[in-house]
Structure 1
Amino acid sequence: MRDLLVTLLVFGSLPFIFKRPPFGVVMWIWISVMNPHSQGWGFARTFPFAAVIAGAIVAAMFLHKDKYRLPAHPVTWVFLAFMGWMSVTSLFSIHGVDVVTQQWIKVYKIFGMTAVVMMLVRTRQEIEWLVWTVVVSLGFYGVKGGLFTLRSGGNFRVWGPEGTFIDGNNEVALALVIVIPLMYYLIGNVRPRWAKGALVGAMLLCALASLGSYSRGAALAIGAMTTVLWLKSRNKLPLGALLAMAVPFLVLLMPSQWHERIDTINTYEEDTSAMGRINAWRMAFNLANDRPLGGGFEIYDGQVFARYAPIPTDVHAAHSIYFQVLGEHGWLGLALYLALGVMTWRTGAAIVRQAKGVPELDWALRLATMLQVSLVGFAVGGAFLSLAYFDVPYLLMAAMVATRLLVARQTAPRRRPMARPLGRHPEAGADTGVAQA
């Protein structure tokens, strides 16, 4: 039944995608982030739904009367430069092109569709479609995992959907950390009290599910994200009161083995998993110093560790977005990756400056702030996970760029003209930023 439902939804959406290509962004995120077909038991688990949707989106873009081009923004150029550099490092990879081609294709599919999303998302409505789809796609697992943690008393770990980017306990925990600030943003967009309450409940369940994963990195990310969320909130008193009540409750709810697991952060020298990660980090550092182009993809094997790791026999994945990029793409690759994060943050800061005091752009100010909070959570939690190519942070980057350009257009009469995306774009509504009918 689930397989049939997903199939009907995907193929039923194709006419709407051809009519309005940005609707394809909703379907693409739903399929690639939530992976609803992974919840089935039959043919849907292996059916190429993502390829069907991607093909429909690209075809619709070519056939549509609007011209879709990449937004002319510094973040775009750094993103493209990072893509190009990954191709260079793949050509000169330590194991050769034949070995790394499959991973290169996988990463380029993710980045290529991110570029497509950047072309398509241009109005407030389309930006909020993106946010809602990410929230629903990841929030589903957060609510499910939170309820599971409550029912089990936290005695069993929360895991992500099998066969996806977030199938591990650490990975799903970080994904849920990212989505919590987006839920907080959406609370200000819904009017019914029940809807606001549902989002607050979803936030708490996502936090509980993240804790229930027993992920130490996620625990640190939650701490950092919560601190920045409170600092950037305009309602510090009520939010602070909610956090003061919720955090102790969530922590006390967890059993003794959870506390023992988290306490190993202070004694990492005695933890074989933590020391294995440090060995992998030192391997990446040594490799990047020896090979300016990095090692390319697929470097986590005995041959590479024997040459560059302090403990050659202790082979681990990178377990850090930063050392993952450093080892695979060298110091220049890491510089581009960090520049992408910094410039996305600064783009959010520019939105806040321009939208402040403009009532019709209050949504943009709140969204940019919460996107920044999400990125802080990813930056901290990602320091302990191999998720450099996880698509959600790049989707948030696309939302940030689209919001920046929309704010620039709506505030143009108040300031000097600024560069806008190439190609023809729909005019933004005077009050909402949504394309006029």
Structure 2
Amino acid sequence: MRDLLLMAIIGVVAIMALGRPWIGVMLWNWISIMNPHRYTWGFAASAPVAMIAGLVTLIGLLFTKERGSPFKGAPVWWLLLFVIWMTISWLAGVDVGNDYNDWNRSIKIYLMIFVALSLLSNKYHILAFVWVTAGSLALLGAKGGLFTVLTGGSYRVWGPPDSFIDGNNEMALALITIIPLLHFLQLQLTRGWQRHAMSGVMVLCAAAALGSHSRGALLALIAMGAMFWWRSKSKGSMTILIMVTMLALLPMMPEEWWSRMETIETYEEDASANQRINAWTVAWHVAGERLTGGGMSYQYQDYFSRYGVYDTQPRAAHSIYFQILGNHGFIGLGIFLSLWLSTYLTAGWVRKHGREIAEAHWASDLGGMIQVGLVGFLVGGAFLSLAYFDLPYNMMVMAVLAKLWITKKGWERDPHISFIEFTGISSPTKAVKSKGK
């Protein structure tokens, strides 16, 4: 039954996407971020749902007149440069054949990022993109947070099977990253009960992150909370909220959780930490030896045998920075860092200039929360291999589109129709005519 319901939803939305390909972007985003098919037990679990979403979106892109150039800001050019260098690195890598699947998976994500930038243009598109991105993970976070509360944090929270975030650490970082986006959406809600409900979801996402037992997630949560407090207009209220949340969640965590967190201070005695440092050391040497790095991977026995310090067992980098460094060399890392610096600055521009325009206050809120979310991701990402995960790239899309919307005075060009009408559930043409009457 669950399989049939999911495929029916995907089928209906896919048909809508042929005529309005921006809806296909939302469908792809939902499937890629949330992986809803991984929570079924029948034929849908292995169905090529992402391919279906991507295909109908590309078909719609070919025939729609409402498309533009994806190159709408500096971060996009940095992303293009990164994609080119990643491809060169893969082709010059140690094992091109075995690395193909990793390259193919990443290139599909980047392709759809460019497609999103081509098709999304107005406030409705941007808000829908934020809702789908944050909402997809918030549903899982609320469920995981409730599980953490009911079990006293005795069990770890895991992500969707066979996805970028199937591990407990990866799932935790994804949830921490979307909390600022949920706060942005909360600011757009008009009814009190809706805002309170969103507060509850945010707290549950934080609980789920803690329930993952991830040390990197705890550091990311602290960094993001500090940024939240710094950016808050009412620091007193924010301080109370953070303190109440921590006092409510931390005391219920079991002894196992506290023991694991304490190893942050004694990392030199922790086997897991030493394994990461070992992998980072190998990545550094590989980048020094090869201009383009190892390819889509540098976890080869030869490198770990030569450069390993603590052991010679090939292991994942467990860091977006050393992952890129080992895979694509110092040039690749430089491009990667420039991409996120450019995204952060673009979001800052949106935050600053949006405040000066009444119609763009929502964009200012979005820019500020993108910056907070990026800080959480970039801090937590120092301990996880999530360099190719969709979520931060989606935030780049939001920042770029919001800046373009402000510079082109999007409030003067946006369609004056409701969001439901805009999706095609009712006729936009009739709605516009009726307003004219």
1:336-415 aligned at under 5 Å gives the runs 336-410=335-409
Q: Provide, for residues 58-117 of structure 1, a one-character-per-residue CA deviation record: whole Å limited to 9, x for no partner.
A: 00011112233213311111100000001111111022x222112111110111111111
Unaligned runs of 5+ in 2: 423-427, 433-437
1:2-401 aligned at under 5 Å gives the runs 2-95=2-95, 97-401=96-400
Distance 1:397 1:69 in 2: 16
Question: What SS class does the counterpart of residue 267 from structure 2 fall into?
Answer: helix
Q: Provide, for residues 310-351 of structure 1, a one-character-per-residue CA deviation record: whole Å limited to 9, x for no partner.
A: 245232100000000000000000000000000001101111
Distance 1:409 1:308 in 2: 52
Contact 1:368 1:400 in 2 (8 A): yes
Distance 2:72 2:361 in 1: 24
C-alpha RMSD of the superposition: 2.0
| Equivalent in the alignment of 1:422 | none
Match of 2:413 among 413, 427, 436: 427
Mean alpha-carbon deviation: is it higher for 361-370 or for 86-95?
Answer: 86-95
Question: What SS class does the counterpart of residue 266 from structure 2 fall into?
Answer: helix
Per the TM alignment, residue 298 of structure 1 is displaced from its structure 2 partner at its CA by 2.7
Mean alpha-carbon deviation: is it higher for 79-88 or for 7-16?
Answer: 7-16
Contact 1:143 1:209 in 2 (8 A): yes
Per the TM alignment, residue 184 of structure 1 is displaced from its structure 2 partner at its CA by 0.7
Per the TM alignment, residue 307 of structure 1 is displaced from its structure 2 partner at its CA by 2.7
Per the TM alignment, residue 128 of structure 1 is displaced from its structure 2 partner at its CA by 0.7
Larger RCO: 1 or 2 (CA < 8 Å, sep 6+): 1
Contact 1:286 1:309 in 2 (8 A): no
TM-score when normalising by structure 1: 0.93
Distance 1:141 1:335 in 2: 34
Contact 2:32 2:50 in 1 (8 A): yes
Q: 1:69 corresponds to which letter in structure 2? A: S
Contact 1:279 1:314 in 2 (8 A): no
Contact 1:360 1:431 in 2 (8 A): no
Q: 2:92 corresponds to which letter in structure 1? A: F
Q: Provide, for residues 288-319 of structure 1, a one-character-per-residue CA deviation record: whole Å limited to 9, x for no partner.
A: 01111111113213222113322452321000
Q: 1:155 corresponds to which letter in structure 2? A: S
Q: Provide, for residues 107-140 of structure 1, a one-character-per-residue CA deviation record: whole Å limited to 9, x for no partner.
A: 1011111111111221111111011111221011
Contact 2:324 2:333 in 1 (8 A): yes
Q: Provide, for residues 124-159 of structure 1, a one-character-per-residue CA deviation record: whole Å limited to 9, x for no partner.
A: 111110111112210111111111111111111111
Distance 2:120 2:306 in 1: 45
Q: CA 1:432–1:20 in structure 2 vs 1: closer, same or farther (change >3 Å)?
A: closer
| Equivalent in the alignment of 2:435 | none
Q: 2:413 corresponds to which letter in structure 1? A: E
Question: What SS class does the counterpart of residue 266 from structure 1 fall into?
Answer: coil
Question: What SS class does the counterpart of residue 315 from structure 1 fall into?
Answer: coil
Distance 1:117 1:15 in 2: 18
Q: 2:73 corresponds to which letter in structure 1? A: H
Contact 1:121 1:399 in 2 (8 A): no
Contact 1:410 1:430 in 2 (8 A): no
Per the TM alignment, residue 26 of structure 1 is displaced from its structure 2 partner at its CA by 1.4
Contact 1:294 1:327 in 2 (8 A): yes
Question: What SS class does the counterpart of residue 259 from structure 2 fall into?
Answer: helix
Mean alpha-carbon deviation: is it higher for 63-72 or for 18-27?
Answer: 63-72
Question: What SS class does the counterpart of residue 263 from structure 2 fall into?
Answer: helix
Distance 2:235 2:25 in 1: 34
Contact 1:183 1:203 in 2 (8 A): yes
Question: What SS class does the counterpart of residue 106 from structure 1 fall into?
Answer: helix
TM-score when normalising by structure 2: 0.93
Contact 1:145 1:158 in 2 (8 A): yes
Distance 1:65 1:320 in 2: 41
Q: CA 1:19–1:101 in structure 2 vs 1: closer, same or farther (change >3 Å)?
A: same
Contact 2:207 2:249 in 1 (8 A): yes
Distance 2:417 2:108 in 1: 36
Contact 1:302 1:312 in 2 (8 A): no
Q: Which runs of 4+ in 1 moved over 4 A?
A: 429-437
Q: 1:427 corresponds to which letter in structure 2? A: R
Per the TM alignment, residue 411 of structure 1 is displaced from its structure 2 partner at its CA by 8.4
Question: What SS class does the counterpart of residue 218 from structure 2 fall into?
Answer: helix
Q: 1:143 corresponds to which letter in structure 2? A: A
Contact 2:286 2:298 in 1 (8 A): no
Q: 2:41 corresponds to which letter in structure 1? A: W
Aligned length: 423
Contact 1:178 1:378 in 2 (8 A): yes
Q: CA 1:270–1:311 in structure 2 vs 1: closer, same or farther (change >3 Å)?
A: closer
